[in-house]
Amino acid sequence: MTLTVLTDDQIRSLLENLTAAELEGFRGALASALHEYSTGGKVGETAIHQPERISVHSTATGATTLFMPSCNSAGNGVKVITLTSATATATAAPTPTPQNTKPAIIRPTGAITLFTPSGTPHGLLHASTLTAFRTALASLCLVQARTAPLKTLVVFGCGEQAYWHVRLTLLACGREEVERVVFVNRRVSRSSREVVARFTEGVVGEGGRGRCTFEVWTREEEGFEGRLGAVLREADVVFCCTPSTEPLFDAEVLLGAEGQGKKGRLVVAIGSYTPEMREVPAGLIRQALAGGEREAGAVVVDTIEGALKEAGELIELGVGPEQLVELGELVELKEGETAAGTKRHNLAQWLQTGNVIYKSVGLGLMDLAIGMHVIEFAKEKGVGTHVQGF
């Protein structure tokens, strides 16, 4: 057997140079795995097994390490990834140095180890870029379901998740369609300075970027709240990509004076991943769960089991499993079809035009599906280190 080793730079180069058709191949691989996860039957009746992830916390570094195992018909995998929790700089014990300084921020980093169904080592992949890519790829399934033009994107955060959510949207939907992207950051930082350059000067700009403009706003600017409210009401998609412990905006901004937002939009929340974190305001989730003439009375999640244990916004409201619908139930949904556990039969229409909230906490199966696909893709492109007889 051959073990394939891919560095983060190699993975980034492969993924940043995808064509629209190649991106669709990756999306199809992920959609198929999620669909089987959500509809394939009980454990023992399907090749998919998705145990709960395990986390350990270091008081010395302020970092949390996550262990995420998974299994499907293609093989087995486990991702080990370390990142600084949102409250680490405030609560973690200082690193024992003479200066008694606080721990440095650790961006998500780690590795994905993949095995064949018989247990033979198959791949070792750096996890940083791949994690951001696969998360954005899942969100893209809902972005592509929208039928109205996606002219304005609002993105909270300026990191890798924000970058990849915008990048994949531009590639899949066409750069001529999106007219404006507004990144919102807490303060001016290196990432906030770099993110626009990555779109205007880097690989995204090659071949033209249409009429789309890119902006970065910070909360330190004068008149910020008023400007934010205006651009949120204009937005067609809102990406929330920060490990925030409080809502990123007021629900009333989108609900309107009478408590009902007239414009249908997609709100994607992928940054918060613990019960203590919050990105989406409670009022907006209540409105989604209440349903109505245009709404399904549900929130979309990547995994119901994981969301009920890790999504702070849903835990705070006491949301039940019957109020959630998994993305895997929807990725192959056609007009007029139904998905189990929802209040609305015509889910396809809701996904196209309604107010849809997608809450993702991540699951190892996503890493397994995309990891296996990227190994084969890398072999086709002649990229990576391939160790024979490992």
The count of other CB atoms within 10 Å of the CB of residue 292 is 13
In Å, how far from its chain's centre is CA 242? 11
Joined together, the tokens standing for residue 218 give 């910070």
Contact 52, 362 (CB under 8 A): no
Give the closest residue to 196 by CA, choosing from 174, 224, 163.
Answer: 163
Question: Residue 122: what pLDDT?
Answer: 97
Rounded distance between C-alpha atoms, residue 85 and residue 37, angstroms: 28
Q: Which residues contact 104 (CB under 8 A, 6 or more apart)?
A: none
Rounded distance between C-alpha atoms, residue 44 and residue 6, angstroms: 33
Q: What is the mean pLDDT for each group of 10 consecutive residues in the chain (390 residues)?
A: 96 97 97 92 68 90 92 95 64 42 74 96 97 98 93 96 97 86 91 88 51 91 94 97 94 72 87 91 93 82 95 96 95 60 64 94 96 98 94
Rounded distance between C-alpha atoms, residue 96 and residue 343, angstroms: 54
Which domains are delineated in the chain?
Answer: 2-131+365-388 (3.30.1780.10), 136-361 (3.40.50.720)
The count of other CB atoms within 10 Å of the CB of residue 210 is 12
Q: Which residues contact 33 (CB under 8 A, 6 or more apart)?
A: 48, 72, 365, 366, 368, 369
Question: Residue 210: what pLDDT?
Answer: 61
Question: Residue 39: what pLDDT?
Answer: 87
Which residue in this structure is represented by tokens 């039940």? 320
Q: Record the pTM.
A: 0.89
Q: 160-193, pLDDT tens digit by residue?
A: 999 999 999 999 987 678 999 999 998 888 888 8
Question: Residue 278: what pLDDT?
Answer: 94
As a dihedral over the C-alpha atoms of residue 140, residue 146, residue 148, residue 150, rounded to 10 degrees, the angle is -10
